[in-house]
């Protein structure tokens, strides 16, 4: 009898399990993720006043870690966070990253100045804690590359470009700084050929995989609510992109995750 292939050892490096879409369902979501080979997840807090609830989720579930920051689309609505606040939060054993932060000019270009100020504060916290910065970038490639480079010259820090869908130019700028690119369900969409080419050109040791759940479900669940178990579908496309088996790609991206998110390493 042919033995089934072993489950891949995957990590969902970016999801939002505190969002209303998942209320009261976290136990089932995490069970389904583990059944799909997703051993660990990082749930991301996007507003400071929600940090206690996100922290409580991480404390409750084995294999669930968290990060916190102010999403750029909320930067003008939230009190400006301080680096000291983020540094203090980072003392928690399950707090593994700073953000998400960044620049989003698609809907909120009018708050570009406060987004940039908030981003630089998050970078300071990442630099001082040694934890990876988690970047959201949308329609702001030139300013994003400039700020990340300026700040890196002022003092090195580590970073992942979460749900990377930007230009090849921003990818090169980030990779030149030693940063990582994360594949989301968008990379698995049939029409995302150019995006997959950007990933294929990147160093293999700088690739992560994520869901950004509840958003951006990959095929065959596109258009539905995303969840951590579905990272396996994106990983299959990632494996094809790099000419690897699913288990090889899972092992690669998990090793990359452990290197970057060192506090979440087993």
The pLDDT of residue 81: 97
The pLDDT of residue 215: 97
CA dihedral sign, ordered 17, 262, 168, 151: positive
- Give dist(CA 260, CA 124) in Å, integer: 17
CA atoms within 13 Å, Cβ hemisphere of 159: 33
Cβ-contact 212, 257 below 8 angstroms? no
pTM of the predicted protein model: 0.96
The pLDDT of residue 2: 52
- Give dist(CA 125, CA 133) in Å, integer: 9
Q: Which residue has the tokens 């928690």?
A: 92
Note the Cα 234 to chain centre separation in Å: 14
3-state per-residue secondary structure call for the chain: CCCCCCCCCEEEEEECCCCHHHCCCHHHHHHHHHHCCEEEEEEEECCHHHHHHHHHHHHHCCCEEEEECCCHHHCCCCCCCCHHHHHHHCCCCCEEEEEEEEEECCCCHHHHHHHHHHHHHHHHHHHHHCCCEEEEEECCHHHHHHHHHHHHHHCCCCEEECCCCCCHHHHHHHHHCCCEEEECHHHHCCCCHHHHHHHHCCCHHHEEECCCECCCCCCCCCCCCCCHHHHHHHHHHHHHHCCCCHHHHHHHHHHHHHHHCHHHCC
The pLDDT of residue 4: 56
pLDDT tens digits, 45-56: 999 999 999 999
Going along the chain from its start, the domains and CATH numbers come out as 10-264 (3.20.20.140)
Q: What is the mean pLDDT of each run of 10 residues along the chain (266 residues)?
A: 72 98 95 97 98 98 98 96 98 98 97 98 98 98 98 98 98 98 98 98 98 97 97 98 97 98 96
């Amino acid at each position: 009898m042919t033995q089934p292939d072993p489950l891949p050892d995957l990590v969902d490096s970016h999801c939002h399990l505190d969002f209303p879409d998942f209320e009261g369902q976290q136990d089932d979501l995490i069970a389904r993720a583990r059944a799909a080979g997703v051993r660990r997840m990082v749930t991301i807090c996007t507003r400071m006043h929600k940090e206690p609830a996100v922290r409580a989720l991480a404390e409750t579930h084995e294999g669930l870690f968290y990060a916190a920051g102010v999403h750029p689309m909320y930067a003008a609505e939230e009190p400006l966070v301080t680096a000291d606040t983020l540094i203090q939060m980072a003392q928690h054993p399950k707090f593994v990253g700073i953000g998400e932060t960044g620049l989003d000019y698609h809907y909120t270009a009018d708050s570009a100045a406060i987004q940039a100020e908030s981003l630089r504060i998050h970078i300071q916290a990442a630099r001082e804690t040694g934890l990876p910065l988690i970047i959201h970038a949308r329609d702001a490639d030139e300013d994003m590359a400039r700020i990340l480079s300026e700040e890196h010259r002022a003092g090195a820090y580590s970073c992942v470009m979460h749900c990377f869908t930007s230009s090849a130019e921003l990818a090169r700028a980030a990779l030149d700084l030693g940063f990582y690119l994360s594949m989301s369900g968008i990379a698995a969409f049939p029409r995302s050929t150019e995006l997959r080419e950007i990933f294929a050109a990147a160093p293999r040791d700088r690739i992560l995989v994520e869901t950004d759940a509840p958003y951006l479900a990959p095929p065959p669940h596109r258009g539905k609510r995303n969840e951590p178990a579905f990272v396996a579908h994106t990983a299959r496309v990632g494996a094809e992109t790099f000419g690897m088996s699913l288990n090889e790609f899972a092992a690669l991206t998990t090793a990359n995750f452990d290197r970057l998110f060192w506090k979440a390493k087993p």
